[in-house]
Homo-oligomer: A and B are copies of this chain.
Amino acid sequence: MSYPNWLSQRTHLSGNRMALSFNEQEWTFSEINHIAEGYAGKLTALGIQPNSRVAILSKSHPEFVFVMYACLHIGCEMVMLNERLANAELAYQIDDSAADFVLVDDVLKEKVENRDPLLFSKIKEVAPLEFAPQTQWEQDRTISIMYTSGTTGNPKGVRQTAENHFSSAVSSALNIGFAPDDVWLCSVPLFHISGFSILMRSLVYGMGVRLHEKFDAKHSAEELCSGKVTHMSMVGVMLERVLRNIEESEMTVSPRFKAILAGGGPIPVAYIKRADECGISVLQTYGMTETSSQTTTLQSADAEKKIGSSGKPLFLYQVKIDGTDTPGEKGEILIHGPQVTPGYIGKFADRKVQKGGWFHTGDVGYMDEEGFLFVVDRRSDLIVSGGENIYPAEIEKVLLAHPAVREAGVCGVPNDEWGEVPAAYVVLNKEIDREELLDFCRGQLASYKLPKSIKEVESLPRNASNKLLRRELKAWN
């Protein structure tokens, strides 16, 4: 099956509706499509073609959206680069994806300066070639590629197809409803599935996106009260700060506002109650890059009786626990549905992501009697810090590369501002200054991944087969 080109069709059907708003500016679907076609002509002039693999590095602003929509029109595969990554991490992703082009927001050019970047300012100046958008998009076309790490510490490039994004958008609408005048506030990164999926929903629904360059609790609170937006995506730590801003102000949440979609782990019931008192419905979600955003959702109404649950799957999706149908019994969480990635690219291209039609998440959880999912251990002891996923193995790998370090173990520790932050434990070969070790890490890790503490220990907790027990590390805090 194929889809009509989402941008062209959306423009044809509801061209006059607001597509994007940023600060005081607004663009309708017709306008944004016209701009995107213009950019597509310029990118074509620069040699970008259908199926070109194009890495993009940008801050969250309209030009990023224009460039992405141009790439959609041309039929590129977009490698979404995280602007917070260290240069070495970006280099790995650009190499691994074998990107044909690297499109870069000027303010970030130092991050990729030796990668022959095409700067946004340069793209703008190019004389466009004539350009005709593809009329049909194949279902299995790769729209986006996002890197995510795992147990090994080597980030894997996850393919997300048109069908993945479409079924994600539709399943979300079937769950929470949708009205043609909905507007989604996006203050989460566009290069993450959390933000990118808002753009996909915008095109599929004909829904407006109110874009913030970055998350600011006060600004978000104001928007929720202004009546300009109906939905917002966030992670738990953002919720508390937005709520506090509303509670401490004279403002009230607009009756037009419908719901917050909150990812990145369970939200304390106290927050849900506070949100409820503010008139905000909070939907807790469980999902990952490989499932193109949310797979299960917990309704606000169920939050109190199902504390810690991630809810139930969306209509098209199925979830089960590996090897058991018994309520309460723990096992690996398996996911089935059209939102699941067909696989990885680059050095992990051969890795099968599904076994017998089921995606193995690596997360451990259980179902209760009523079929509510509870996630007990995130895969690979994942640390979720301010909405960013941090894999301990990635940090350990860097620490171990230093000659003074014999063994390294990293785990997440609670943090008021970010939810969790990484903490490191090291067994040393010889004395070394903590700052020197951090400096060593700095060039190779995004700053949010730098261990917030490094403690020397005599040995690390390991099991019989010598596997590091990161959960025991946690107890040391």
Taking beta carbons and an 8 Å cutoff, which residues of A are in contact with B? Answer: 1, 3-4, 9-10, 12-13, 170, 173-174, 176-180, 204-206, 312-313, 315-318, 338, 371
Q: Is the interface of A mostly helix, strand, loop or mixed?
A: mixed
A179: chain B residues within 8 A (beta carbon): 177, 179
| Closest partner residue, chain B, to A10 (CB atom) | B315
User: Across the interface, do A204 and B173 meet the contact criterion of CB distance under 8 Å?
Assistant: no
Shortest distance in angstroms between A201's beta carbon and chain B's nearest beta carbon? 10
A312: chain B residues within 8 A (beta carbon): 12-13
- For A313, the chain B residues whose CB sits under 8 A away are 13
Instruction: Indicate which residue in B1, B12, B180, B206 contacts A338 across the interface (CB closer than 8 Å).
Output: B1
Alpha-carbon distance A411/B313, docked complex (angstroms): 53
Instruction: Given A13-B315, A318-B4, decide whether A174 and B173 contact each other with a Cβ distance below 8 A.
Output: yes
- Sample 7 A-B pairs with CB under 8 A, ordered by A number: A4-B315, A4-B318, A13-B315, A173-B174, A177-B177, A177-B179, A206-B315
Q: Which residues of B contact A13 (CB under 8 A)?
A: 312-313, 315
Q: Are B206 and A174 in contact, CB atoms less than 8 angstroms apart?
A: yes
Cβ–Cβ < 8 Å partners of A176 in chain B = 180
Pair A174/B205 contact, Cβ less than 8 Å: yes
CB-based nearest B residue for A297: B13
A120 to nearest B CB, angstroms? 30
Cα distance, A7 to B383, chains bound together (Å): 38
Cβ contact within 8 Å between B174 and A204: yes
A180 to B176, CA, bound (A): 7
* Residue contact B177 to A315, C-beta cutoff 8 Å: no
Given A179-B179, A371-B12 in contact, is the A4-B174 Cβ separation under 8 Å?
Answer: no
The answer to whether B315 touches A204, judged by C-beta atoms less than 8 angstroms apart, is yes
Kindly list chain B residues whose C-beta atoms are within 8 Å of the C-beta of A3: 316
Tell me the bound Cα distance from A12 to B373 in angstroms: 12
Q: Which of B10, B170, B317, B318 contacts A170 (CB 8 A)?
A: B170
A315 neighbours in B (Cβ, 8 Å):
4, 9-10, 13, 204, 206
CB distance from A4 to the nearest CB of B (A): 5
Nearest chain B residue, comparing its CB with the CB of A170: B170
